[in-house]
Structure 1
Amino acid sequence: MTVTNKSENEKYDEDFLKKFSRDFCRKIIELIDTTNLNILENILKKWIDNIDKNTENILESMQKHKENELLFSSIIGFFYQHGIGCIIDKNKALELYLISVNNNNIIIKINENFKESFIKLNIINEFEISSQNINVIIGKFLLSLFYYKDIILDERNFNNYLSSARKGDLVAQYNLGKYYYSGKEITQDYNKAFLWFSKSANDGYVKSQLSLGKCYYFGRGTEQDYKKAIEWYSKSAINEYAKGQYNLGLCYDSGIGTDKDKVKAFEWYSKSASNGYAKGQNELGRCYEFGKGVEKDFNKAFEWYSKSANNECAKAQNNLGDCYYYGKGVMQDYKMAFEWFSKSADNGCAEGQDSLGYCYKHSKGVEKNYEKAFIWHSKSARNGYGKGQNNLGDCYYYGRGIAQDYEKALKWYSKSADNGYAKGQNNLGYCYKHGKGVTKDYSKAFEWYYKSAINECAKGQYHLGYCYHYGIGTSINIEEAIIWYKKASKCGIVRASEELKKIQFIE
């Protein structure tokens, strides 16, 4: 019976992968005549992210396929080029594209109509074509696009900017600085970026003033100097550039390059928000929600989150979802929360992806679906969000939406803990204490419980108290046990209260 199930699963994976390959090719055909080449890849990425399957699992299935080089190397290359289900590796992507074309003499010419090229390869109306040929065709397209964007299109733009910049065009100087700064289209050179930003900024171009501030802030092309960063952010902000106002607000908010001043941060966020900058609107909403530099006002928080969310700020869409979820500044509405979490998640916000997974896991605004919860927690986790990494660890630990796997649970709890997420630190401590996915190690359990406890996780405080109470990974210390039990008890951890009673009874 087990063998049959395995065979059925393999057949299912085979069918899915072949359909996925053909659908990927169809999507390219759909886009090539209607979409700017500079955003075509982003649309393909978004299409893959919206597939109702975990991208990490899709990649793994393609890689494990016995004929992966013949059938799927081109798409695997696309995954590596854009970090879909993996870490970005453009060298590996190029290698896979070259494998897929397999020394075939057919080259798709970038300067002719793409769809005509595909028609020449008899693919438009003939999807009986073999998966191997589809792989070759996709590989040739992606390889051509890979070279086209990085060499032809951007070299042409670069040369135009260089010519204009030398003639004193402030905008061209700024764009030239961007090319050198990003290193996306040419060899990255922060020194040259700094030079061109400086020329344009000193002549009053606000975007360059902001970019020059960033150079000083991060120490790129010059020595790191937060005060000079503030100076250039201020010039950009005073010249009414909304992004400069937002960045200046961030400096006052965090106290970098200046004294921390929540009131001034609020003032600059307000100016940025009023000038229509979505990120400024989101931060202004946070000021009102948490009372940063202004009195708490959930109604105004909701108002600014709404403006930012409708201006496509993914973090604001998540924050607006929170407003609906908890009833802050608006009537509680799980369906509306789910809707905004979905928009945030689709726009790549790790927080929104985790929130969406939570909705699926707990049936908030949508039917419970552990498989979809797993998919969205996975996306959030791979995007580096500590809470999402912890929740993905939970999926593996309890076998929700995926087969139970303590080692993978440990892996994601570890990532969450390293990111400073208190619940992840507690769960990692639990794994070490009980030998889940790792050899028991009471010293490490104590270490992670301690980090969790000082980061205000109630369960971590309880477990730390328990370690001190019974000498787990540390020496018995009843006074410390009482301190941490009390903290956990105040946060509603019943077991902490019970352990306190035991101590009091003994005394």
Structure 2
Amino acid sequence: MSAIAAPRLSLLHALLASLTLSAAALTAAVAPVRASATQAPAPDAARLPRPFPVLPVLPFSDPTTACALRFGASQEWAASPLAKPAQLLASCGTEAAAGNLDARAIYGQMMLFGYAMPPSDTGLAMLQQSAADGSRSAQRVVGSLYRDGTRVPKDYAAARRWLTLSADQGDGLAAELLGLMDYTGQGGAVDYASAYGEFVRAANHGSSHSASNAGQILFDGRAGVPRDVAGGVTWFIQGATRGDADGAFLLGMALLRGTGLKRDVQNAAGWINIAATRGHLEAHAVLADMYVAGAGVPRDEKKGFALMAYAASRGSVYAQRRLGELYAGGTGTARHLALARTWHRKAALEGDATARFQLAVEYRLGIGGPKDLDAAIGWMRGAAQAGLAAAQNDLGTMLQRGEGEPRNLDEARQWYQRASDQGLGIAAFNLASLADAGLGMPKDPALAFRLAHTGAERGDPQATLMIGRMLFTGDGVPVDKAQALVWYRKAADLGNVDGARQAGWQYMYGVGVPRDAVLGQRYLESAARAGNAQAQTILGLYLLERQADGGKDANHDAAETDGKAWLVKAVAQNFAPAYTAMGTVYSKGQGMPPDQPTAIKWFTRGAESNDLASQRVLCLAYANGTGVARNPELAQRWCRAAAQAGDLFAMRRLAVGIADTTPERDSSYWQWRIASRGDAVYQSMLGDSYDLGRGVPADFNAAVYWFRLAAEQGNVSAQSSLAWHLFTGLGSERNDREALAWANRAADTGSAAAMAMVGEAYLRGWGVPADVGVARGWLEKAAAAGSGEAASDLANLYEIGNGVPRNDALALGWHRKAAALGSNAGSIALALRAEAAGDVHALDGRSMQWLAVAADPGAMGTTSGSHASASNDATESGLASWAALSSLNEALQGDTLRQYEIGMRYLLGDGVMRDTALGDAWLQRAQAGFAAEPHHAMYADAVRTVEQRVSGALSADERERARRVAVNLLATVPSRAVGTGAYRS
């Protein structure tokens, strides 16, 4: 009994895993009529034999009984044609009861799947018993049930065990199923060698399809099975001659292609036709192609179309796609683009990559229906993911242009690369274009040239043109203008109009080759007459220059030699550079008097048409007032447009700001754009923006990242800033040694701030043993270079006599210089000295603010030190916050002047949130620190006076809170003798 139909292998699909056994197929093989489990039992069902409580002790096999013959070999004569299903069931039951293994296997299936009775699991028990008793057909059926999980849990190990028993008894179908399990990895790893062996065994047991399967593995070659095309064809012949449709088709295809045997198109057509008559759908489709092309059969497009329609309507995916192509081309039928799209959609939904690509093109261009870019890119992506090179390239193009999805240069590059890896010339050109422009990948002209050369070798005219351009400009390759012309002419010979334009321009102006105006003009006119707007623009400008020089070409009539007429033609095509050319003509007065207002109008049209040259011209013109009234807003507009198109000059103008019209967030954005290209100056500038929260949220980690990139390229400002961050541990883990290394590098190039940091490092022993003498040397250099903080540190050294003779007069001088250089520490020291001496009348307003002279601290003004301001302006606010953070950092490390400064900042809300109690607490901490240093008694007295003045303006609750906070600060924050590395608690 052949209860289980063997799955099929196909050359066009080659997916055995998708060919699985279904319970429906099993039942259909058992009987022509199936009783539903929900149907009422047959009238005589109650009289049908039931499973036996005790099976015969000695079962026997007899395949000649009526039941075995009818169901085992599909012989209808074994029973009366008028026999009803119930009668047939009863007959098989009787034979099974007599102990016939063949009948018992059949009867077990009848019961299990409900043949003329409700389905019953008792049939499974009968099948399993029959299998155990040695029925090879029962063993195969039980193995198949476990393989597919039909009425039993799926169990590949059990399936293999039963199928092996059956196959070992010579059952070809069981061997074929084992081969399929090995091929698809069911119940274990994929094992092509074992699958091949099982298929061979099945073929030797009479399975024609297994012969075809074995041939396909051998023909293609798999792991463990070396490729043997001739051997594979031998198996195809065996399968074909034994009646297997796949074998006939595979043999026909081998003959058609001349693979494994001599090519014989007519014989191929015969075998493919045999496969078609055996119901092979793909054979119908291939035969249809042969009729359309007249290959091996008389050409008959209508018959080819009919065969293709037959296969397509019955589910052949290949035929569905080809039918769409036949409709699109009007081959064998009337042209019908809408039906073409319909059939392409059917094939695409079934996974045909080429159909997906064709459907994507139809949606993209609006062929056969509405244009739909969303659908287009979806289908294009599907085709690309399936590995179709043309689709991968076109998907890259859509992503680069932003069609159907937002522009994504990085992903576009990846798809171009996949297509180029498959040998597609235009994809190599697209990759070369990205590399040349630095779009979606770092700019790499050398790589661009190599990629363009690859595309040119594959016959792509655009890549050929690109090689000429790169040789001409020396972009990624040494300049060779003569060789560039050779490539331009090659491109022109391939039908590329741009190649003709470039060759014409080079000949006309004698660039890199002897000048030949006639030949140049001939090339340009050829391109211009073909409608190339760029050629028209170049030719127009050239002729206008000649007209301005009084020249005239006698070989052309007046209309053709009129340069302005050619420009008008280009303008009529809305060619943006033509607007720029017209602006240039009017600006320079070429062939006409200069006319700046008209020139500006033309440049504006060009800029509005996204011509980068016009945008740049207007950016500069309005920013500088060149030929037009200065207008920062228009300058900002056109600079931004040019910058967005990638113009680096415009980006730089926006990064630093145009007057006061560039918002800080825009400046920081353009800083990022340029910094991302590796420009150290703008990386450092962006780091400053992150430090100050200027146009971006303050982010010290981001600042350190950009400072480090710039510092590694030698940017002095970034080196100094990076050193500061590493010394303070803000935005990065503190690292005194690395900080000192960066500070030294910056100091060696004259950075005052870096020299001050090196001096302070030696003073405090940061990353190096403390050495006051070396520290003083660096601080003096820094002060001479303009560092107010270094001057303040020197004042403190002389004030306490640390490493130098104590000299208060010299210390006072350094404090004054520090204050003059903008140091808040210097200003505070002078103010406190004046307070201690009772001589505050000579102080300026800025110094008076440090003494909190107003009764209400909130009524006092704000400091205006080098970095501080209470302005609402974002930049001033950022600077104030930065200065406050710096002073707080120094205060926490024990600097008493900075403790005093941060206290005043909290009192004033200068760079920090206003908190008068916290401010007073810091003043108390500073007073205690000064009091601990004998040479700072005057500062201690002055701070005590100021603190009392501040405390008197506080409420009782604020004073109590200030006291508690001060106690905590005294216990946790150290104090340091100013200008030394010694700490006191």
Whether these two folds match at TM > 0.5 is yes
1:250 alignment partner in structure 2: 180
SS where residue 270 of structure 2 aligns? helix
Of 117, 142, 152, which residue of structure 2 is paired with 1:222? 152
2:377 alignment partner in structure 1: 446
Closer/same/farther in 2, CA of residues 191 and 313 from structure 1, 3 Å limit: farther
Closer/same/farther in 2, CA of residues 421 and 177 from structure 1, 3 Å limit: farther
Residues 143-195 of structure 1: CA distance to partner in whole angstroms, max 9, x if unpaired? xxxxx999845554333223222333221123335556777x75784846644
Residues 217-271 of structure 1: CA distance to partner in whole angstroms, max 9, x if unpaired? 2222222333322222222222221111111011011101222111111221221
Q: Offset of 1:479 from its aligned partner?
A: 3.3
Q: Distance in 1 between matches of 2:82 and 2:119?
A: 17
Closer/same/farther in 2, CA of residues 231 and 337 from structure 1, 3 Å limit: same
1:22 alignment partner in structure 2: none
Q: Offset of 1:373 from its aligned partner?
A: 1.9
Instruction: Please state if 1:384 is matched with 2:320.
Output: no
The aligned amino acid for 2:336 is: D
Instruction: Please state if 1:278 is matched with 2:185.
Output: no
Instruction: Please state if 1:307 is matched with 2:238.
Output: yes
1:237 alignment partner in structure 2: 167
Closer/same/farther in 2, CA of residues 386 and 160 from structure 1, 3 Å limit: same
Normalised by the size of structure 1, how large is the TM-score? 0.65
Q: Offset of 1:303 from its aligned partner?
A: 0.4
Closer/same/farther in 2, CA of residues 149 and 488 from structure 1, 3 Å limit: farther
Q: Distance in 1 between matches of 2:342 and 2:188?
A: 39
SS where residue 307 of structure 1 aligns? helix
2:402 alignment partner in structure 1: 471
Write the mapping of 1:31-180 to structure 2, written as runs, cut at 5 A.
152=83, 154-177=85-108, 179=110
Q: Out of 168-177 and 309-318, give the one that drifted further.
A: 168-177
Residues 336-393 of structure 1: CA distance to partner in whole angstroms, max 9, x if unpaired? 1111110111111122122212212222211222222222223332333322222222
In the alignment, is the contact (CA less than 8 A) between 1:194 and 1:220 conserved in 2? Answer: no
Residues 83-120 of structure 1: CA distance to partner in whole angstroms, max 9, x if unpaired? xxxxxxx9xxxxxxxxxxxxxxxxxxxxxxxxxxxxxx
1:431 alignment partner in structure 2: 362
Q: Distance in 1 between matches of 2:83 and 2:303?
A: 41
SS where residue 414 of structure 2 aligns? helix
> How many residues are paired up?
360
Q: Offset of 1:488 from its aligned partner?
A: 2.6
Instruction: Please state if 1:419 is matched with 2:356.
Output: no
Closer/same/farther in 2, CA of residues 439 and 202 from structure 1, 3 Å limit: farther
Q: Offset of 1:403 from its aligned partner?
A: 3.3
Closer/same/farther in 2, CA of residues 272 and 461 from structure 1, 3 Å limit: same
In the alignment, is the contact (CA less than 8 A) between 2:109 and 2:124 conserved in 1? Answer: no
Q: Out of 425-434 and 289-298, give the one that drifted further.
A: 425-434
Structure showing greater radius of gyration is 2
2:283 alignment partner in structure 1: 352
Q: Offset of 1:216 from its aligned partner?
A: 1.9
Q: Which runs of 5+ in 1 are unaligned?
A: 1-89, 91-147
Task: Specify which structure has the higher proportion of helix.
Answer: 1
Q: Offset of 1:437 from its aligned partner?
A: 4.3
The aligned amino acid for 2:148 is: F
In the alignment, is the contact (CA less than 8 A) between 1:318 and 1:355 conserved in 2? Answer: no
The aligned amino acid for 1:279 is: H
Closer/same/farther in 2, CA of residues 201 and 458 from structure 1, 3 Å limit: same
Q: Distance in 1 between matches of 2:341 and 2:408?
A: 29
SS where residue 331 of structure 1 aligns? coil
The aligned amino acid for 2:92 is: Y
Closer/same/farther in 2, CA of residues 312 and 484 from structure 1, 3 Å limit: same
Q: Distance in 2 between matches of 1:201 and 1:179?
A: 15
Closer/same/farther in 2, CA of residues 168 and 442 from structure 1, 3 Å limit: farther
In the alignment, is the contact (CA less than 8 A) between 2:291 and 2:299 conserved in 1? Answer: yes
Higher RCO (C-alpha under 8 Å, 6+ residues apart): 1
1:4 alignment partner in structure 2: none
The aligned amino acid for 1:483 is: Q
Q: Distance in 1 between matches of 2:331 and 2:111?
A: 46
Normalised by the size of structure 2, how large is the TM-score? 0.34
2:132 alignment partner in structure 1: 202
* % same residue: 26
Instruction: Please state if 1:212 is matched with 2:139.
Output: no
Of 412, 416, 433, which residue of structure 2 is paired with 1:485? 416
Closer/same/farther in 2, CA of residues 410 and 229 from structure 1, 3 Å limit: farther
Closer/same/farther in 2, CA of residues 374 and 208 from structure 1, 3 Å limit: farther
SS where residue 475 of structure 1 aligns? coil
The aligned amino acid for 2:162 is: W
Q: Offset of 1:429 from its aligned partner?
A: 2.0
SS where residue 240 of structure 1 aligns? coil
Q: Out of 491-500 and 170-179, give the one that drifted further.
A: 491-500
Q: Distance in 2 between matches of 1:168 and 1:329?
A: 51
Of 263, 270, 281, which residue of structure 2 is paired with 1:332? 263
Closer/same/farther in 2, CA of residues 444 and 176 from structure 1, 3 Å limit: farther
2:191 alignment partner in structure 1: 261
Q: Distance in 1 between matches of 2:119 and 2:209?
A: 28
Q: Offset of 1:211 from its aligned partner?
A: 1.7
1:80 alignment partner in structure 2: none
Residues 283-336 of structure 1: CA distance to partner in whole angstroms, max 9, x if unpaired? 110111111231111110110000000011101111101110111111011111
In the alignment, is the contact (CA less than 8 A) between 1:443 and 1:473 conserved in 2? Answer: yes
